[in-house]
Every structure is written in C-alpha cells, then in structure tokens.
Chains A and B, each alone.
Chain A
Amino acid sequence: MMKFRFRRQSTDPQREKIKQELFAFKKTVEHGFPHQPSALAFDPKLQLMAIGTKSGAIKIYGAPGVEFTGLHKDTTAVTQILFLPGRGCLLSVLDDNTIHRWELVAESTREVGGVKKEGVVSLREVDSYSLPGRPGIESSSATRVTVLLLLKSCDLLCMGTEGGGVYVLELPRLSLKENQTLLQDHVTQSLPDDYRCGKSLGPVESLQEHPQQAGKILIGYSRGLVVLWDLSSRHADQLFLGKQQLESLVWERSGNLFVSSHNDGGYSVWAVTNGNIYNHQPVSSTIPYGPFPCKAITKILWRTTQLSSPVILYSGGMPRASYGDRHCLTIQQDKEHVTLDFTSRVIDFFTVHNMDNDKEFDDPSALVVLLEEELVVIDLLTPGWPSLPTPYLAPLHSSAITCSCHVTNVSTKLWERLINAGKAQQSRRHTHRKWPICGGKNLAPPPRQQELLLTGHEDGTVRFWDASGVALTPLYKLSTANVFHTDGDPIDDPHDPCDDPEMQQQQEEEEEEEWPPFRKVGCFDPYSDDPRLGIQKISLCKYSNKLVVAGTAGQVIVLGLNDERSDHLVDVSVMDLLQDREGFTWKGHDRLEPRLKPAPFLPGFQPLVLLQCLPPASVTAVALHTEWNLVAFGTSHGFGLFDYHRRNAVLARCTLHPNDSLAMEGPLSRVKSLKKSLRQSFRRIRKSRVSGKKRAVITTTSKVQEANAALAEQEEVAPVQRRIEPRSADDSLSGVVRCFCFADTFLRDGTHHGPTLWAGTNSGSVYAYALEVPGVDSGRTCERGGASESSMCVEAVLGKEIQLMHRAPVVSICVLDGRGKPLPDPYEASQDLSIAPDMTNAHSVLIASEEQLKVFSLPKVSAKTKFKLTAHEGCRVRKVALVLFSSAVQEEYSEHTLVCLTNMGDMHLFNMPGLRPQVRFDCIRKEDISGIASCVFTKNGQGFYLISPSEYERFSLSAKVLIKPQCSVPLHRHLGHMFTCDGTPPQTQANGTHKSLMGQAEADVPRSTLSSPLLDTPLDSPLSCADLTLDSTGELTVEDVRDFLTTVEEEENNLRNMKDEEGRSPDILIN
C-alpha cells in the first residue's frame, strides 16, 4: 500500500494548471427574499421590479431567472427607487440624502482562449448627487428628500423636501436647475390669509405629475394643502385647501380627479375643474373604517376599470383601538371589499396596469405588495382577488430555517411526484395566472439536472425547493406536526389550515361576518406553536423516496412518498439512549405526544414510523441506508440504530460521559440556547425599528444608538482572555453524536467486508459496528443458513472504538474504497447507477475532526495520512464534504476533493486520499456564525449558506459547474443598445459578506489542452457524470443598433428584430 505523507504544497506548474481547471470560487446568486427591504419600484415598460434594502442593496427582478444586484458603497438604507421607464436606468435615494443613478452596463466583448466571452453586464452606479443644504438654514433635515417625482419625459426629476421646498434636477447628469426651485414662500404668497395663519405648510408629502398635461405637477404638503403647479410657467394653476394632514396623493387617469389620503384614516376625492383657483372642499371624503379613530392611510391608489367602478387600494386606515397593530391593505371596488391582513409591515405596493396612453382605463391586472418579510401578489383580474404564488423571492424564513439538505440529480419521476404533491397542497386561493412581472429574458438553458434543496423549519415543516436554477422555487411543503398531538390544534384538525380547501371555506364564511373583512395573506409566520417540533436533521434517499426527518424533541420520523391521500396510524417506537445509566435526570423538555388516532395524510411524504429518543433531546445526527432499511440517529446522550422495515430497534448506545451534567440540561441551557436567544434578539431589534415608511429624521434616539454602538465596539477592543488547556474527557457535551456513516467495508479483517455503521462524537470518539443485515451478502459465510430471512433481525456488533487523542469533535466520517474514492450511496452500486466500489484493495476511512483530517487504513485502523489544520492555520473545521470536481477543460477528468469550511469562513480544499491542500478561498465573514453554520454543499462543487434569515447565497467552488443569472433586457437608452446581461455583478453582494478572493484561479488564463492529461482518476462512474452540470450559457452578445432609432415605433421594430436574433443557437461558454 502506498504510504502517503503530508508534504508541503508543491508548485508543480502542471498541477497548478489542473487546479485552475478544477477549482474556481464564485458567489453566483442570492436566493430568497432580500433582508429588510425598504423601497420598491416598478418599470412598466421593461416589466422589471426593483427592491432596495436597508443594507444599501438594490435588486432587480423580472421574469423568473432574470435578476440583477447592485450594492451602494455605503451600507445606508435605500429609501426610494425610481425607474426611468424603459431605459434600464434607475435612481435611488439613500437615507443619507444622496441620490444615485444606476444603469445596466455592458462591457465590450472579449475573445478569451478561443471562447467568445461576453463582457460582464451589471447593474452599476454611474452617478451620485447630494442635495446641498439650503443657504441660511443649518438644519440638514430641511433639505432632506421626502419624495421624488420623475417626469414622464424622463429629463427632469422633482424632489420634495422636509423643508417644503421642491427642487428640480436635470437628468441624466443630476444637476440642479436653480431657477426651477420652488420654495414654500412662493406658494404661501398666493394662499388666502385665513388658510395661511402664519404656519408652515410642512414637508412635501407627495408629488404627482398630471397624467395628461406634461409639465404640471401636483404638490401635496403635510398640512393638507395641494397645489397644481405648472413647471414651465412657474405658476400655481390651482390650490386645494385641504384641512386634514396629508399622507399621499394619486391622480385619476383622466386628470379630472385626484385622491388624497390622510392621517385620520380617511381619503378625499378632489375634482380638478378649470377656472377655480381655490378649491375648499373635496368632492367626497370617506373614512372607510370609521367612525372611531383610525390610523393613517399611508398610500392610496385609484385605478379605473373599463367594466366596473374604479379599484381603490390603500394601506393602513385601521381602527386605532381594535386593529391598530395590524398590517393591512384594503382593496375596494363597488361593494367588494377585502382587507388583506399581513404578518409583517407593508413597505410599499404598486399595481401592474395599463400604461398605454391610448387606453382610456387603467384596468389593473395585479397588485404587488412588498412586505417587510415577503412579497405578495394579488390577481386583480380573477374575481375574489386570489393571491398569486411567487416564482422567486420566496420567504425562506416563513418559519425560521433550522437545517438544510441538498440533493443533486433528482430523477424526473421523483421530481414529478413532488410537483404533483405540491400542487395538491396549493389552496384554491391561489391562481395560476401568469406572473405579472415578466421583464427580461432568461437566457440560461433549462437545467441539466434537477436539484432539490430541503429546508427544515422551526415549526416542524420541511420545504422542498427547486434549486436547479437561479430562481429558488417552492415545490412542496411537508408538515410533521400532524404526527403529534399538540395542545394548539384539536385532534380533528390535522392540517395546516391553508392546505385544506374545506377549512378555507369555513374560514371564508367566518371572515365574511367580520368587519373589517380581513383575509390572511402571505405565508410568513415566525411564531412556532411548539418549538419542539423544530426540524434538526434531514436525510433523503432519492432512489427509494424515503425521507428521515429528526427534530428538537428527539423525534425521528421515517417517511415514504405516497401519491394518494391516506389515513393511517403511525407506528411509534421508543428508544432509551441512556441505557439504564444511573444518576442522570433529564431536565429539558418533554417528548411530543404522538397522535393516538389514525390521521389523514395528504399526498406526498407520509410518515411510516416515529422513533422517539429518550431523553427527548434534540437529534444531532441522522443517517439513512435504504438498501439495508436502517436509520441511525444520535443525540447528546447516545445513538441508536433502527430497522424501519421490520420495525425493530437494533442498537442503542450511550455516549454520555459520566461527568457531563450539561447534556441533561436540555435546550434551555446556556450553551444550547445561544442560537435561539440570538434569533430572538434579532426579532426584538426588528420589532423595535421605527415603523412607517416616512423618513427617519436624525433624532436624539438615533444619536444615542450610535453612541451605544460605539461603546459596544470599544468593549470588543478590550482585552479578552483565553485559557489554554487541552481538551479533556470531562468537557461537557462530549457525548454529543456528531455524524454517522454507513459503509460496506472491511472492519474486522481484510478479507471479509460487510455492512458497518460508524458514529463520531463531540469528544473525538468513533464507534464502528459491524452489522449483520439479513439478505445482504456480508462477505462471510452465513452460519444461519437455515433461518428464513423474515425471521432474522439486523444485528450490530461493536467492532472498533477509536479515540482521537486530540479529542476534537468528529465532524465527518467517510469510508473510501480501494481506489481512494468514497463509497457510493445506497442503491447506486446495486442498481448500476455508479461504478461498483473497489472491494479488492484495502479500504480506508476518513475521519475529519474539528482540528485534523485523518485517513486510516482498514481494517487495522492505522493512520495513513493526516493534515493538522488547526495546528497549522488556527482555524477549526465546521463543515466537510467530499465533492467530485470536474475539469472545465478536459471532458473526462475529475477529482474527488475534500472541501472544508472553517470557523474563519474560508474553504480549504484537499485532495483525496493524500490530504494535500489544494486551494483556499475566503467565502464567508468569520463573524457570520449563522452563515457558516448554515452552509450546505452539493456533490458537484456548489453550496449554499444563509446571508440573512431569509436569503441563501449560492456559491460555486467548481470551475465547471456554475449556476448564475444570465438574462437579457431590451434597453431603449439614447444609445439604442440592447444589452444582453449577465446579472451577476462581480464582487457585489447584498449583505456584504464578500471577502477578497485569495488563491482563486485567474479565470481568464488561456487554457490550452493538456498534452498529457493526468488521468489518475478516470471518471467512469455514470452517476458522477450525471452529477455534473455543464453549464452552457446562451450566446451573450451586445447588438449595436443604429443611432437613428429614436422614435418609439422604430424602437419596437428593432426590439422585435433583436428578439429574433436571440434565438440563434447558443455557444457554450465555459467559465
């Protein structure tokens, strides 16, 4: 056997080249819902929606797959966004009173290594402008921008300010037109004395351009005055002397009416008739939720329809005393009245409606509401205004994510069954109308393989997401709560109410009697009925469609996929992991009570067996071997092995250290509850944030906050002491089971292989059991030949115990075959989905602890190679994955590589089984503990981690496998260019967790074919081949369009032509 010794990384040029062909780090997409959104905009021409966040990010979405991201230099909240319709250009206003101009920019095309490479197109900041303070007034708040208005001509931008002034900027240069500035004094002069009363008009609350007459704008002041101002003649056409504090204004399409919404929860309709300069009274005034005091209507929209009366949409206005805390948006049309009741604050909303000047009516088709935690779209064309499922921007955190699991290359069969199960779940309320925001074109080819991301949540649900492409789309939701009898819901209500049509009918009836007519909309529900339901570990076998889900209260549920609804009783099996150890009393939570009656289960994954660990501590590790029908599970007390086919407990082993008292504390102990308390405090912070979309004026409170933050920073600087002591056997929580491994390998001797189970603990112990599985050729002569298979039980015999002397927690165990490759998953070998493992040469086992990586030979466990990561680098291993990397250049070449994510947030790649370091990439900020903890790897070199409670960052370590946005947007800019856009701007990320890339292979190095391909690991596994995606991208071209295309018709013609051209056969771009 070859003896591998760790050597320092050599600088063999050929090896370096291969490394470049295998590894490349790139953050590709952000999946999910932007954290803390603060602004919303819609471009009706390009059909693009932009969302700004408090961290200064701007994200643009169009049709599914069309995404752009931009990040302001300062992490200041984006307060407003404006599109320059049809130009691929937008303006953003930040909290620091600066205006930024963004454009979708393309770089010139380059020819690299024979591959035509499209210049990266990205959302880029091209200009910024800061409004200077008004001379003579010190307070910066006077010139603070409150509202923006972009004139239809797109050449002027009006800004309303806190001080009541209206400033005009010239576009695209964002230069102030001094002579156009309208200060309050101008307006007050023309006011009647009795209205003036010497008081200021207050900040500008709304600016709206006249829908028919260009150059006329409606200016609404906080005090209630509304002025129709003619920009060209600089003269007030009409004055509307409102008495109630103003919140927002909206024009009716004809320009004969406008509507104002007010602080008292009412709205007024004003007629704009020529002749009258002064209008004292509105045509009508309504307080919809009166007569008792109501909260302000913060924004109102008035949309005309051809067939019926106008649709009125407004947010707020709830009766202060009874529903003042609700986040509501009302849709009204004639007698129809729905109060959408959201679980989080309404940030902003818009309607998708007819913008054509020829058309007489708005005819809104959809309402898009941006909430703090999700995006809700309401179909306004379908009676009853059902909500529309979002193809992206899904609130991943509708209940907090507790774990995740990724499955590559899911078979079409399973995929379809999951989709069908998901469709069956969708309620009547959902409509299947087309997604209204459909701008841009996704050029990415349909994914080569289906990828599934499973997320476990605090409320006991497991959500299945389509992670094959740029848009992370929900497929199916599995709830485990109905396996248990919880106090919250009665026994005869097994489902999530939204899942059951009957329940909804009931609800609907109830709702109709209620006033206001509330309707729960959206799925963000952060409050879990029972924290014990939380999902901790998930394992899915894609071949046998078996799923194991394990939770906080020691529950392990084995589920099978069933296309039919079924009513059955779930078998319960209790496993005592303490094994009669004395002196231990569990002080944590109780187990969940299993439901005693048969329960109805919807099509999808249905529970078969419930295993209950005792004590009911959180499950810390789970493994599933479907070929042997075995599930292994561990807690902080020990581990168990269960045969779910025969419903038979095979093994229970206590790993508890005698001195470990903390293990019995349950999840409320200091250590374990850290994560939870963090989450809670985040929630608290979020709640305490000032609500209301209006500007947050720099007040004393914010200054205090700043001071506190500064103080907190100082505290961090203060010296911290660290004790230097080796780990001892007495450390608490040393018995926590961290990982399992099922393998058919040589445990007892070198000639007979058979099923084995490996378990690693927090204290560096590894237990290896030889399993006798009836029907599985264990490689040794079966002594019990006479016994029939059904009567035989699976047996486990302890083969070896390994104690790592450094005692660091064992993070992962993996058995390697005679060629040093990881053993295939269950069924892969037996169903010829993978090449059979090499059983002739000696196997070895990789044991990765937090400090060291070690490969031991089998069956005599002797160290072959090792890498002491912590001793060398001072970082600790957090996550480990064995990944198959394929060369981006050589079709056949691939390598098994060990990927380590450390507590410093960097990725270390090691070759297998030599454990020689290959590359290191900085990936996650080391302060981002939850990001590091949430990281999950795919089998082909990609990964996901949470950058916020609601967003997954997708990254790629592979030079070949890459999923990133590739989309085109037709842009009618003065240049007349049409850009084909690659939506991933380099080095920008919404949450700023980006670190500089070190050791990254230079992507643009010309690659010539290798003369002697070092094929020491021939890729002959069909599965491994299938696991790889060759990410072919559509041809990315910039089509120049002649300058004479200025008229709209010509532009449209041109657009049509270019769309045709796009249809050309795509080149394959490998990067």
Chain B
Amino acid sequence: MNKNHRVPSSRSLSAVEVKSKFGAEFRRFSLDRSKPGRFDEFYGLLQHVHRIPNVELLVGYADVHGDLLPINNDDNYHKAISTANPLLRLFLQRKEEAENTFATDPLTRKKNTVLSAVLLRPDATRKKHPVIISLPKDFRPVSSIIDVDILPETHRRVRLYKHGQEKPLGFYIRDGSSVRVTPQGLEKVPAIFISRLVPGGLAESTGLLAVNDEVLEVNGIEVAGKSLDQVTDMMIANSHNLIITVKPANQRNNVVRRRSSDSGASCYGYSTHGATASMPSHIIQNFSAGELESDEDEEDLVIEAGGEAEPIRRTSSTYSMPSMPRYEPHLNLRTAFTSASAFSIHTNGTLPASNSSGSLNHADANSATPSPDRVRRSLEEEGTVITL
C-alpha cells in the first residue's frame, strides 16, 4: 500500500471528477479535492447518487497504475481523492457478491497470509505471485498505534504482533527515573525506559518505539511501582501480543486527533513538523474489543500420540511413521489448518506447492530418508509455528 505514496503533483484542479460504476450504470459527480470529507459521508453519497440506499457496497477505484484498490476507510478514501488525476474511477459492487474482487478466496487467503507470514523463508521454488492488494483486514498487522482517542496526546499505545515473525521483538528496557508533577511539586520517581533497539528487530522496523521512551503500561497494566524484572517478565509473558503504552522521548511526532463522531473510523493526522512522511500509514487503526482478546492465538499445542501400543522401549527414540502423531490445536479447531499441517507432516516432502510454501523448506532440508530424530524435530518446529 505504501507504494503509491506520492504527494499529488498538481493542485491545478480544486475539484475531483468522479465516475462511479455500479453494475451497468454510471454516475458522474465531482468532489472538492481540498475538502473530501469522511468516508462514511462519501459512502452515503454513493448510495444516494446510485439510488441504492440499502445496498451494502464494496467501493473500489482504479489507481494510476490501473490496479483496483479498495476504498473502505478515511485513509484510503483520502488517498484515492488525492491521487485522482484528474478523474477518479470508482467501481461499486454488492458486498455479498463481491468477495473475490480484490483478492482470492478469504479462507485460502487467510491461510496464505498466515502461512506465508509464518513460514516464509528464502525459497527458490516458490513462484512470485503478483502482489495481491486486499482489504486491510486481510493483512496480518505487524504493529499499530491504538486507542488514540482515549489516551492523552503525549502518550502512545503501541501494539506489536510477534506471532510468526522471524524478526525478534528487538528491544531492551532499563531502569531510570522520571519526573512527575505532583501536588507537592516535581517529584522524581523510578521508571522504566526503552534502552536499546535491535537493528532489524520488530520494534525498530515499526518506528513506533524509540530509545528513552518511558514505558507506562504493559497490556493495560501500569508499570509504576514494578521492578525492572517484573516489567521484563510481564512483557515476555505478553510477548505474543504486546501492547506497550509509552511516553515518547520525542514528543514531536505525536498523533494529533481531529474530532470525529465515529471513533471506529476516526481520522488522524500528524502534526506538521517532523518526519511525517516516514510514518507508515497503517498505524492509524483502532481495534474492537474482540480483536484485542487475542487469547485464541495462544493455543497450546496438543499432540495426540498414535493410538495403539507402541513398543515401550522405543517410544522415545524412534518415531516410526505409522504412529506419527497428529497435530490438533485444541481450541477453535480450524479444520483447514489442521488438515493442512497434518498433511504436510505425513507427506513430508511430497507436498503440493500450492498448499503450504513453508513446509517445502523442510522437504528440501530433509533427505529422502529422514532420520527419526530429524522428523521429530521438524515436527516440533512446525507444530510450534502452525498454531500461532
């Protein structure tokens, strides 16, 4: 999405010409480029001009490269308006029949994204798929700024998604002291700070955390009064879905709120000074409560051992193929998931390329007759990654 990050070249036209297609019908209208308004207003306008007030729509537009991109929030709506040169071509579809427009089947796509995020390794055999542009919900987020509307502007709540990342979280914390304003005046209190970012780590690559940022909360629990070791343990315990509230050392890049009625689709911008351009756009995001409850991601892995009695003395050393355990994430059995992983284990090397790109890696690594130990090891590794 960031590819099209281009500042509109000209301001010659204050109005954007819009050509909207729904089914076989076209509508033409114009919008003020400088005041595009919000997405929900725009959406209502589209329903109005097409006279389809109660139809759920998917809105797409053709960008300068001719790719069909979705418009479903303020962010990409503004992007569409600003890049329209001069004509903005819109394509409307009924939601129920439009599932496959932007990408492939959601189920497979989900698996693809999950698996590729998880298992993606340098792999020569893997075909380069054309970049699929899809709805933001179809992407696996790496990090985000959340709860902007409820936090003071001086604070930032950052969510880091560790699961499946090859990247380490990549930061260190330290003890220190911070100055607080109290009724008695300024007071020095012990505090926890980010002390170091590992180059190439998740924390550094998101650009949302910086050295000397003061850590205020970890997953909603205040760190005040807690020791460095306690905070370390809390962060590690939450490392699969870490939400840190910091007071950035550099207060110039703070998210500035523009008042909006709908918090779900709030519109944010950045204060003008500072390196706004370098900030990735996907950080402007709010999450529903349900999404925050990420426990489902933390399923423990249960391996059912093959039913019938194995020779006792060999149970631990030999893993004969017939008694291969089957992997079952015990919660929320995603059938596609389970079968895929089980399949990948059993076939072990004869995997169709389309199914799981990641496990091919093992197939290459393991020789034709893998030692039982190797099989077991790969089993373990896959097991741990699959249930993320």
> Which residues on A are within 8 Å of B, measured CB to CB?
579-581, 638, 650-654, 658, 719-727, 729, 748, 772, 795-806, 808, 851-852, 854, 856, 860-863, 868, 870-876, 903-904, 926
Q: Is B275 an interface residue (CB 8 A)?
A: no
Asked whether, in the complex, the Cβ of B300 is within 8 Å of the Cβ of A802, the reply is yes
Q: Give CA–CA (A801, B323) in the complex, Å.
A: 14
Which residues of chain A have C-beta atoms less than 8 A from B373's C-beta?
Answer: 581, 658
Taking a contact as CB atoms under 8 Å apart, the answer to whether B316 and A724 are in contact is no
Stretch from B101-109, B125-133, B305-313, B350-358 at the A interface: B305-313
Q: Give A717's nearest chain B residue, CB to CB.
A: B175
Q: How far is the CA of A862 from the CA of B227 in the complex (A)?
A: 34
- Which of A580, A638, A722, A729 lies in contact with B232, CB distance below 8 A? A722
Stretch at the interface among B5-13, B336-344, B379-387: B379-387
A871/B234 in contact, CB under 8 A = yes
Q: Which of A719, A797, A870 contacts B175 (CB 8 A)?
A: A719
* Cβ distance A663 to chain B, nearest Cβ, rounded Å: 16
Answer whether residue B230 sits at the interface, using C-beta atoms and an 8 A cutoff.
yes
Specify which chain B residues have a CB less than 8 angstroms from the CB of A808 in the assembled complex.
237
A264 to B337 Cα, complex, angstroms: 88
- Determine the residue in chain A with the shortest Cβ distance to B376: A658
Q: Could you say which residues of chain B place their CB within 8 Å of the CB of A871?
A: 219, 221, 234, 237-238
What are 14 of the A-B contact pairs (CB < 8 Å)? A653-B315, A720-B228, A721-B195, A724-B232, A724-B239, A726-B162, A798-B305, A799-B305, A803-B300, A808-B237, A856-B330, A862-B331, A874-B229, A874-B233
- Besides the known contacts A579-B316, A803-B303, 4 further A-B residue pairs in the complex with CB atoms under 8 A apart: A638-B316, A797-B315, A798-B310, A806-B298
Q: Which residue of B lies closest to A802 (CB)?
A: B302
Q: Kindly identify which residue among A722, A795, A854, A876 contacts B174, using a CB–CB cutoff of 8 Å.
A: A722
Given contact pairs A802-B302, A874-B233, A722 touches B316 in the complex (Cβ within 8 A): no
Known: A724-B169, A872-B221, A874-B233. A797 touches B239 (CB 8 A): no
Quick check: B310 and A724 within 8 Å, CB to CB? no
A801 touches B316 (CB 8 A): no
Contacts of B175 in A (CB 8 A): 719-720
Chain B residues with Cβ below 8 Å from A651 are: 312-313, 315-316
What per-residue 1/0 map shows which CB atoms of B241-254 lie under 8 Å from chain A?
A: 01000000000000
A806 & B237 in contact (Cβ 8 Å cutoff): yes
Q: Which residue of A lies closest to B173 (CB)?
A: A722
Q: Is the interface of B mostly helix, strand, loop or mixed?
A: mixed
CA distance A866 to B310 in the complex (A): 33
Contact A805:B230 (CB < 8 A) given known A579-B316, A719-B175, A723-B172 = no
Nearest 7 CB-CB pairs, A to B?
A: A874-B230, A726-B239, A870-B237, A653-B316, A801-B303, A803-B301, A722-B232
| Residue of B whose beta carbon sits closest to that of A795 | B312
A721 to B192, CA, bound (A): 10
Q: Is B156 an interface residue (CB 8 A)?
A: no
- Inside 8 A of B301's CB, which chain A residues have their CB? 801-803, 805
> Whole-angstrom distance between the alpha carbons of A863 and B301 in the complex?
11
Please indicate the chain B residues that have their CB under 8 angstroms from the CB of A799 in the complex: 304-305
B292 to chain A, nearest CB (A): 13
Q: Which residues of B contact A724 (CB under 8 A)?
A: 169, 171-173, 232, 235-236, 239, 242
Within 8 A of A (CB), among B98-119: none
Neighbouring B residues of A581 by C-beta, 8 Å: 317, 373
* B233 & A726 in contact (Cβ 8 Å cutoff): no
8 A Cβ contacts from B204-235 to A: 218-219, 221, 223, 226-235
Q: B304's closest neighbor in chain A, by CB? A: A800
Task: Given the known inter-chain contacts A719-B176, A726-B240, A797-B310, please indicate yes or no for A654 contacting B316, CB distance below 8 A.
Answer: yes
Residues of B close to A797: CB separation below 8 A: 305, 309-310, 312, 315
Q: CB distance A868 to B237 under 8 Å? A: yes
B19 at the interface (CB under 8 A from A): no
Closest to B297 in A: A805
Once A725-B168, A803-B301 are accepted as A-B contacts, the answer to whether A863 and B331 lie under 8 Å apart by CB is yes
Answer yes or no: B346 CB below 8 A from chain A CBs: no
In the bound complex, residues from chain A placing their C-beta under 8 Å from that of B169 are: 724-726
Selected contact of B226 from candidates A802, A854, A874, CB within 8 Å = A874
Measured between C-beta atoms, what is the minimum distance from B88 to chain A in Å?
45
- Chain B, interface size category, equals 35 or more
CA distance A863 to B297 in the complex (A): 13
Q: Say yes or no: is B196 at the interface (Cβ < 8 Å to chain A).
A: yes
User: Bound state CA distance, A801 and B379, in angstroms?
Assistant: 12
Q: A719-B176, A800-B304 are in contact. Are A650 and B387 (CB under 8 A)?
A: no
Residues of chain A within 8 A of B233, CB atoms compared: 851, 870, 874-876
The answer on a CB contact under 8 Å between A719 and B230 is no
Shortest beta-carbon distance, A888 to chain B, in Å? 33
Interface contact B236-A654, CB-CB below 8 Å: no
Alpha-carbon separation in the docked complex, A698 to B242 (Å):
53
Report chain A residues within 8 Å CB of B230.
Answer: 873-875, 904
Q: What residue in chain A is nearest B223 (Cβ atoms)?
A: A874
Q: Are A654 and B312 in contact (CB under 8 A)?
A: no
CB distance from A512 to the nearest CB of B (A): 59
With both chains docked as a complex, state the minimum distance between the C-beta of A846 and any C-beta of chain B, in angstroms: 14
Known: A720-B228, A725-B239, A874-B230. A803 touches B383 (CB 8 A): yes
A726 near B236: Cβ-Cβ < 8 Å: yes
Contacts of B304 in A (CB 8 A): 799-800
Give chain B residues whose Cβ lies under 8 Å from the Cβ of A903.
229
Rounded to whole Å, the gap between the CB of B175 and the closest CB of chain A is: 5
Contacts of B173 on A, CB cut-off 8 Å?
A: 721-722, 724
A872 to B300, CA, bound (A): 19
B180 at the interface (CB under 8 A from A): no
Tell whether B325 is near chain A: CB-to-CB under 8 Å: yes
> Could you tell me the distance between the alpha carbons of A658 and B307 in the complex, rounded to whole angstroms?
27
B299 beta carbon closer than 8 Å to chain A = yes
**Which listed residue (A658, A801, A803, A804) contacts B377, Cβ 8 A?**
A658
Q: Which residue of B lies closest to A640 (CB)?
A: B316
Instruction: Please state if A805 and B387 are interface contacts (CB–CB under 8 Å).
Output: yes
Partner of B300, one of A580, A721, A863: A863
With a CB–CB cut-off of 8 A, which chain B residues contact A719? 174-176, 195
- In the bound complex, how far is the Cα of B234 from the Cα of A852, in angstroms? 11
- Asked whether, in the complex, the Cβ of B302 is within 8 Å of the Cβ of A801, the reply is yes
Contacts of B234 in A (CB 8 A): 870-874
How far, in whole Å, are A903 and B232 apart by their CA atoms in the complex?
A: 13
Q: Are B303 and A800 in contact (CB under 8 A)?
A: yes
Q: Which residues of B contact A720 (CB under 8 A)?
A: 174-175, 228
Q: Which A residues are in CB contact (< 8 Å) with B325?
A: 801
Once bound together, how far apart are the Cα atoms of A748 and B302, in whole Å? 13
A76 vs B227: C-alpha distance in the bound complex, in angstroms? Answer: 29
CB nearest to A652 among chain B residues: B316
> Who on chain A is nearest to B308 by CB?
A797
Which of A652, A852, A871, A904 has the most chain B CB atoms inside 10 A of its CB?
A: A871
- CA of A426 to CA of B106, assembled, Å: 79
Q: Which B residue sits closest to A772, measured CB to CB?
A: B309
Q: Which residues of A contact B307 (CB under 8 A)?
A: 748
Asked if A805 and B240 make an inter-chain contact with CB atoms under 8 angstroms apart, the answer reads yes
CB distance from A440 to the nearest CB of B (A): 43
Q: Which residues of B contact A875 (CB under 8 A)?
A: 230, 233
Query: Which residues on A sit within 8 Å (CB–CB) of B303?
Result: 800-803
Nearest A-chain residue to B221, judged by Cβ: A872
- Name which of B162, B175, B315, B384 has the most chain A CB atoms within 10 A of its CB: B315
In contact, A801 and B305 (Cβ under 8 angstroms): yes
Min distance, Cβ A482 to any Cβ of chain B, angstroms: 32
**Which A residue sits closest to B190, measured CB to CB?**
A717
Residues in B neighbouring A804, C-beta threshold 8 A: 300
CB distance from A4 to the nearest CB of B (A): 14
Rounded to whole Å, the gap between the CB of A925 and the closest CB of chain B is 13
Contacts of B228 in A (CB 8 A): 720, 722
State the CA gap A345–B104 with chains docked (Å).
Answer: 83
* Contact present for A863 and B330 (CB under 8 Å): yes
Given contacts A803-B383, A806-B298, contact A721 B196 (CB under 8 A): yes
CA–CA, A926 to B228, complex, Å? 13
Which of B299, B305, B309 has the largest number of chain A CB atoms within 10 A?
B305
Distance in angstroms from B217 CB to nearest chain A CB is 12
